[in-house]
Structure 1
Amino acid sequence: MSTEPVIGAALSFAGTGNAVDDVIERARVAAAAGLGAVWLGQRFDYDAIALAALIGREIPGVTVGSSAVPIFGRHPIIVAAQAQTAQAATHGRFQLGLALGAAELTEKAFGIEFRRPALRLQEFLIATRELFATGTVDFRGEELSAQAPLPTSLPGADPVPPILVAALSPRALAVSGRYADGILPNLAAPRVLEGHIVPAVTAAAEEAGRPAPRIVAAVTALVTDDPAAGRERLFAATGFYERVPSYRRVLELGGATRAGEIGLVGSAADVRAGLHEYLDAGATELILTQTGLLGREVERATWEVAATVGR
């Protein structure tokens, strides 16, 4: 028996008033619109895991997750403790999304070299999975080490939070297939999902004897009667990704040069059809992103349309 795909939304705040209150209210609106999950990107002004825990505590029934927390500048013991706290706070509705991040931000912010990212990802996943599974860790790798001097299990943090990775490059996809529960690809057009990303991560999971990975695709979407204005706002909001090598690669594979070209912008029928293309290409779940660029009314309309996909 097939199940309906979970459709979620990435949340941000308006920039005025109390940011936490604002995001929680937007999560209420998303849940009321029919969405089953909300996701928080990691920034420098709030903590995505903590905010996800607050949302899940306030709004019963909705799944919450980080999409995604960069691993550079963080340690598995700390991140696992944060994730377990969120899992206990939400009574099992938290999902841990991790990312490699971007060298441009990592090196400037933390003063550490962005080196051997795929190996660091592998070691981070091994250590985190050990912490979740055993309540301790004793791991010594080439890029990081993790030894817990005290037990790390947290009562109430059940089940073990799923780990998903914002993976795009071949090496990151291979590592994610072997050690994670799924991936969070962003700006990957349907033909890129179907022809490159899904086969790579699925093959790695099969080789490792793991279940089929979840493919939680992030899709920019705006339901609007002014697609030209929406597209311009999308170009401005997503230009940063064009400077990141992994994103440039998937954009080129999708026949695009600018990140804003990948977004679904137009009528309800157009956006709904575009979302179905992602599911047909192998996505098991979707995350709508950049939905607030044209205001709250457009955002709610976009969420309501997306909530009907798969029904």
Structure 2
Amino acid sequence: MTVGVALNAADAPNQVDATVRLAQEAAAAGLRSAWFGQTFGADSPQLAAIVGREVPGLQVGTSAIPVFGRHPLPVAGQALTAQAATHGRYHLGLALGTKLLTETGFGLPFERPIARLREFLTVLRQLTQTGTADFHGELLTATTPVPARVSGAEDGVPILVAAMGPQALRVSGELADGILPYLAGPRALADHIVPALTAAAEAAGRPAPRVVALVPGVVTDDVDAVRRKATEYLAFYERIPSYARVIELSGGRRASDLAVIGDEKTVAAQVRRYRDAGATEVVFSGTEMAGDEDRRRTWALLGELAS
């Protein structure tokens, strides 16, 4: 099973330089992949491309770019460029986004998100696989009067979706290569998410998709202090219906209940639970919740599990 980390150096004096240093440290610890979030700050495909060039051998990906406020043509160009830059080690993650950020940030109505996701994925698959598109949907139009190919990315780009609800899982099983669930514990994965995703893929005649479980977690001796930080850090997600639902399905009351916090034995056991629940890959996030010593200790354990 691949084990990776989500990197966030937004508070550093230079985010790009700091992200590269963190990625080098993660690779040295034996981790296999590095993932980069997307809000309104740094451009995650660019970060992934830079890190992939600077740290050879490390898989890199975005987790995840919202489909609202974007169009498949420039997103495909970003993804294909990152794929060429990393010689095939880039993974594109998409998300529905949230009503709060979509409407306050972009001034766009958060309407028909599943239909938009379906059309976005349909166009992206055409663009990343063939470099062309001729799509006229209800919500999106994408044509290529000139080619949209990027030399060096002819093999395409794996596309994953931050899907956890039934409708998003159905679309992802039909059209994506995998999913990127966050704050979905082993119970939610095993009982709800993985079966729905697998069934949708089987019905579409496709192989079982990847399940890249993103997990907030820290190896530490100061469990109570880190748990308090996690409660504050993750509280935002409790306001978002899709996350609130999956937290409940996971048996949690607060988002921080899904954070994996403890010593090496405790954390390793939890990682194994995710694997047993159907996760093909586990990616730890939450470096912001830990000091440098605990972060290095966490990455050392994850590197051992990756090997």
Structure 1 counterpart of 2:17, one-letter code = D
Question: For residue 266 of structure 2, what is the aligned residue in structure 1?
Answer: 270
Residue 61 of structure 1: how far off its partner (Å): 0.4
Question: For residue 227 of structure 2, what is the aligned residue in structure 1?
Answer: 231
Residue 257 of structure 1: how far off its partner (Å): 1.9
Structure 1: gaps spanning 5 or more residues? none
- Deviation sequence 1:129-168 (CA, Å, 0-9, x none): 0111221101111121111221011110142110000001
Aligned-pair identity in percent equals: 53
Q: 2:141 aligns with which of 134, 145, 169?
A: 145
Question: For residue 256 of structure 1, what is the aligned residue in structure 2?
Answer: 252
Are 1:96 and 2:92 an aligned pair? yes
Q: 2:4 aligns with which of 8, 12, 23?
A: 8
Q: 1:120 aligns with which of 110, 116, 120?
A: 116
Distance 1:14 1:196 in 2: 34
Are 1:159 and 2:148 an aligned pair? no
Question: For residue 283 of structure 2, what is the aligned residue in structure 1?
Answer: 287
Are 1:170 and 2:166 an aligned pair? yes
**Normalised TM-score (structure 1):** 0.97
Structure 2: gaps spanning 5 or more residues? none
Once the two structures are superposed, the pairs formed by residues 205-224 of structure 1 within 5 Å of their partners are 205-224=201-220
Distance 2:306 2:53 in 1: 27
Contact 2:8 2:36 in 1 (8 A): yes
Residue 14 of structure 1: how far off its partner (Å): 5.5
Distance 1:57 1:237 in 2: 31
Instruction: State the Cα RMSD in Å.
Output: 1.0
Contact 1:96 1:164 in 2 (8 A): yes
Are 1:180 and 2:176 an aligned pair? yes
Runs of 4+ displaced beyond 4 Å: none
Question: For residue 59 of structure 1, what is the aligned residue in structure 2?
Answer: 55
Distance 2:306 2:47 in 1: 28
Are 1:136 and 2:127 an aligned pair? no
Distance 2:127 2:45 in 1: 17
Q: 1:29 aligns with which of 7, 18, 25?
A: 25
Contact 2:32 2:306 in 1 (8 A): no
Structure 1 counterpart of 2:277, one-letter code = A
Q: 2:199 aligns with which of 195, 200, 203?
A: 203
Contact 1:193 1:281 in 2 (8 A): yes
**Normalised TM-score (structure 2):** 0.98
Report SS of the residue matched to 1:309.
Answer: helix
Equivalenced residues, count: 307
Contact 1:292 1:298 in 2 (8 A): no
Residue 45 of structure 1: how far off its partner (Å): 1.5
Distance 2:27 2:193 in 1: 29
Report SS of the residue matched to 2:295.
Answer: helix
Q: Single out whichever of 231-240 and 291-300 deviates more from structure 2.
A: 291-300
Contact 1:291 1:302 in 2 (8 A): no
- Deviation sequence 1:234-282 (CA, Å, 0-9, x none): 1111111101111011011112121011011010110010000000000
Structure 2 counterpart of 1:300, one-letter code = R
Contact 2:35 2:62 in 1 (8 A): yes
Structure 2 counterpart of 1:226, one-letter code = D
